[in-house]
Chains A and B, each alone.
Chain A
């Protein structure tokens, strides 16, 4: 067993990952019960980090590779689920949709509905990232009202590989629903967004590789709208914010509604 002095002598070496393997565990063990050594180690680690702080350009495709390997995690504190209706006999009645008991939901879904506060915090970070307008043709088809829009939504819902994206508030209230088709176009199917004063507008955002991209303005009382992210991959999350009329180049928190694609 190493004494405090012996460990203390090796802390700088330990911070450089340069102790012998047989010493490593003993030092770890001592650290778990010695705040003084922990503090000294932390100081050495800051120096080590400074020594190792050379930044290199990241290889193309490395993030995609990491992202594709993120495993699903079982939520330690599962998101609150809607209560299942119970009949007078006390039996749980069959209920479709999210109230159905079942295995843990996939990662992305858990992420979004698990804690909107967390999502808002995460998104707040991402919002800082510069926007890429060039690769996204922003189309606000507020003016494309009428039967043609309804037809487009209907056609999208019948397109093979389409996805329905539901955007929920922090209280899990469904505020908007989009259908997204594989070629990158998306259509507003349904909106429960309340009308805004004329000085404000709803704005739709997509998140792609950690960046928030404006997908267009939805107007102050969204009814029919479409967007396209043609020319690039589909965003992983859609989000809606309230912005000053005319829109913003970066989203203004909080996110009113978010939904995984």
Chain B
């Protein structure tokens, strides 16, 4: 009897390359929630997050060869796609209203604790710990860039720091995160 997860993500993508809608449906079932969740977090809008999710899966359907399994997991690939599209939307003029909503929310929940977000099982726990363990200035720079969709130049302006400082904080923070995730076994050292 076939068990869930028996086909690898890479096999599914190969099948998508051969027009298998059922393979796409399975990828959607496995990763759609994460793709949608990230888009919604960045955009703070359900309809816009749905649009991004649709774009990500339609793109996978049309260009499955863009996924290279030797360069990382399918989940990472799809999340990168989702994030890039969500950020594009946030940065477009049409998304000004979203930014305003987001600003309001940030004010209302200025001290929100990231560990109270809905995270994905054990990974979420490890990620939240790794993030919480970062020096505050590195964590803030990463949060503003990744979750709020700001460029590092905007982050520098928001925090009143030189651009070079923000570049370094993000890079150091990401490396520290990486080391923590490898150490906790969440990520492989040579991934």
Q: Which residues of A contact B (CB under 8 A)?
A: 9-13, 15-20, 38, 42-59, 62-63, 65-67, 69-71, 73, 75, 107-108, 110-111, 114-115, 118-119, 121-130, 207, 209-210, 236-237, 248-253
Contact = CB atoms under 8 A, between A and B. Distances in A.
Given A70-B24, A110-B19, A128-B3, A56 B118 contact: yes
B72 A111 contact: no
B43 interface: no
Interface string B1-29: 11111110001101111111111111011
Contacts of B40: 56
B119 interface: yes
Contacts of B119: 53-54
A16 B145 contact: yes
A55 B33 contact: yes
B101 interface: no
18 contacts: A11-B171, A19-B151, A19-B152, A20-B151, A47-B174, A50-B181, A53-B79, A53-B127, A57-B33, A58-B33, A62-B36, A108-B19, A118-B15, A119-B20, A121-B11, A125-B12, A128-B6, A252-B1
A54 B72 contact: no
Interface residues of B, number: 83
Given A13-B145, A124-B2, A18 B26 contact: no
Contact of B21 (A38, A53, A56, A111): A111
B146 A46 contact: no
Contact of A62 (B24, B32, B61, B82): B32
A128 B5 contact: yes
Contact of B20 (A38, A45, A111, A250): A111
A124 to B, nearest CB: 5
A69 B29 contact: no
Given A20-B151, A127-B2, A210-B29, A111 B18 contact: yes
Contact of B181 (A16, A47, A111): A47
A55 B75 contact: no
B146 A12 contact: no
B12 to A, nearest CB: 5
Contacts of A110: 19
A15 B155 contact: no
A37 to B, nearest CB: 12
Given A18-B150, A53-B75, A62 B54 contact: yes
B120 A55 contact: yes
A16 B29 CA distance: 25
Nearest to B177: A47
Contacts of B98: none
Contacts of A18: 87, 145-146, 150-152, 155, 170
